[in-house]
C-alpha cells in the first residue's frame, strides 16, 4: 500500500512538472540563477584562497647573523625555531651561498663586483628565512628571536638583524586585508545566497498558486496533507535537479573561456582545470543544493493552501 502511494505521488509530481510547462520553465530559470550564484561563490572562494595562499608564500622574515657566527650555533637556533607551533618552514643560507647569490644578482653591475673583489673577506653573513603559518604570527616569532638568551655567545648577540621590523607595516597591512576580505566575503556570500533562495521560494510558491483549486478539491475528498504535498515536493526536486544540470553545463564554457585570464592574472590558477578535476564534488554540492532548495521551498509553499 505504501509503495503504491509513493508511486502515485511520484507520478503526480512528474505530471505536474510537465503539465505546467511555462511555470516549470520559470522555476527552473530562477533556480538556475540561484545555483549559479552558489557555484560562483564556490569558484570565487577557491580563487580567493589560492590567491592569498600564493601571496602568503611570498611573505616571510629573515634573520641575518654576524659574519663571525658559528654555523653550529645557527643550526641550533634553527632547530629551536622549528619547534615553534607558529613556524611553517625555515631555510638556511650559508655565507658562501649568500655571496654566490649576491654575485649572480649583480652580475651586470661591474662596479659592485669590483668593489666586492677588493674586500679581503666575505662581507655577508649567513641567514635564516622563516615562513609562518599565518601572517599574524610573524610578530610573535620576531619577539621570540629578540628575547632568547640562547641567541648570544659570550654575552654578545650573534643576530645582526631581523627584517620583520622593516617589513612590519606591510605584514600588518596584509593581515588586515586578509581579515577584512574574509569578513566581507562571508557577508556577501550569505546575502547573495539568501536573496537567491528567497526568489526561488517565491517562484515555486507562484507555481503552486496555479494549483490552489486542485489542492482544495483534494482536501474536500479527504486526501491527507502529506499525500497532497508529495507531488509538489517531487516537482520541486525535479526543478532543482534540472536546474543543477543546466548550471553545471553553463559553467563549462564560462570556465573554459576564462582560463587564459585566470591563468595569467591569478598566478597560474587554471579555473577550467579546477572545474574538471572537482566536477564530482561540484555536482554533489550544486545538485544537492538544488534538490534541497526545491524540496524545502515546495514543502513550505504548499503549506499555506493546506491551512495546517
- Domain limits, the chain: 2-55+174-306, 67-157
Copy the grid coordinates of residue 224: 491527507
- pLDDT of 149-204, one tens digit each? 545 555 567 787 888 776 667 667 766 776 776 677 677 767 766 776 677 677 76
Q: What is the pLDDT, as a whole number, of residue 250?
A: 92
Q: What is the pLDDT, as a whole number, of residue 16?
A: 65
Consecutive 10-residue runs of the chain (308 residues): their mean pLDDT? 64 64 76 85 80 74 83 85 87 85 77 71 84 82 71 66 73 70 72 71 70 70 70 82 91 84 67 89 91 82 64
- Contact by Cβ (8 Å): 298, 208: yes
> Chain-centre distance of CA 279, in angstroms?
16
Q: What is the pLDDT, as a whole number, of residue 223?
A: 66
The model's pTM is 0.65
- pLDDT of 241-266, one tens digit each? 889 999 999 999 888 888 766 666 66
Copy the grid coordinates of residue 272: 577550467
Copy the grid coordinates of residue 242: 534540472
Rounded CA gap, 219 and 224, in Å? 7
For domain 67-157, give the CATH number.
Answer: 3.30.70.3040
Rounded CA gap, 130 and 101, in Å? 18
Q: What is the pLDDT, as a whole number, of residue 188?
A: 72
Query: Distances in Å between the alpha carbon of 249 and those of 39, 238, 278?
Result: 12, 17, 14
Radius of gyration, alpha carbons of the chain: 32
Q: Is the dihedral of CA 182, 188, 190, 193 positive or negative?
A: negative
Amino acid at each position: 500500500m505504501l509503495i503504491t502511494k509513493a508511486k502515485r505521488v511520484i507520478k503526480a509530481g512528474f505530471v505536474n512538472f510537465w503539465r505546467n510547462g511555462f511555470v516549470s520553465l520559470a522555476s527552473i530559470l530562477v533556480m538556475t540563477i540561484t545555483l549559479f550564484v552558489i557555484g560562483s561563490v564556490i569558484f570565487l572562494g577557491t580563487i580567493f584562497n589560492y590567491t592569498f595562499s600564493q601571496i602568503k608564500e611570498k611573505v616571510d622574515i629573515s634573520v641575518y647573523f654576524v659574519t663571525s657566527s658559528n654555523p653550529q650555533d645557527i643550526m641550533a637556533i634553527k632547530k629551536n625555531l622549528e619547534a615553534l607551533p607558529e613556524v611553517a618552514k625555515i631555510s638556511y643560507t650559508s655565507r658562501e651561498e649568500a655571496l654566490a647569490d649576491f654575485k649572480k644578482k649583480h652580475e651586470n653591475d661591474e662596479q659592485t663586483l669590483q668593489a666586492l673583489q677588493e674586500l679581503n673577506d666575505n662581507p655577508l653573513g649567513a641567514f635564516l628565512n622563516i615562513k609562518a603559518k599565518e601572517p599574524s604570527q610573524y610578530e610573535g616569532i620576531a619577539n621570540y628571536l629578540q628575547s632568547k638568551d640562547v641567541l648570544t655567545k659570550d654575552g654578545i648577540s650573534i643576530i645582526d638583524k631581523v627584517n620583520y621590523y622593516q617589513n612590519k607595516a606591510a605584514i600588518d597591512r596584509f593581515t588586515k586585508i586578509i581579515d577584512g576580505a574574509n569578513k566581507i566575503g562571508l557577508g556577501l556570500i550569505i546575502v547573495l545566497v539568501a536573496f537567491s533562495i528567497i526568489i526561488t521560494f517565491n517562484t515555486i510558491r507562484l507555481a503552486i498558486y496555479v494549483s490552489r483549486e486542485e489542492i482544495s478539491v483534494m482536501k474536500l475528498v479527504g486526501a491527507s496533507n502529506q499525500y497532497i504535498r508529495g507531488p509538489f515536493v517531487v516537482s520541486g526536486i525535479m526543478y532543482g535537479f534540472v536546474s543543477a544540470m543546466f548550471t553545471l553545463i553553463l559553467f563549462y564554457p564560462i570556465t573554459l573561456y576564462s582560463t587564459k585570464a585566470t591563468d595569467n592574472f591569478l598566478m597560474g590558477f587554471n579555473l577550467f582545470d579546477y572545474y574538471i578535476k572537482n566536477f564530482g564534488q561540484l555536482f554533489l554540492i550544486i545538485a544537492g543544493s538544488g534538490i534541497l532548495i526545491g524540496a524545502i521551498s515546495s514543502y513550505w509553499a504548499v503549506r499555506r493552501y493546506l491551512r495546517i
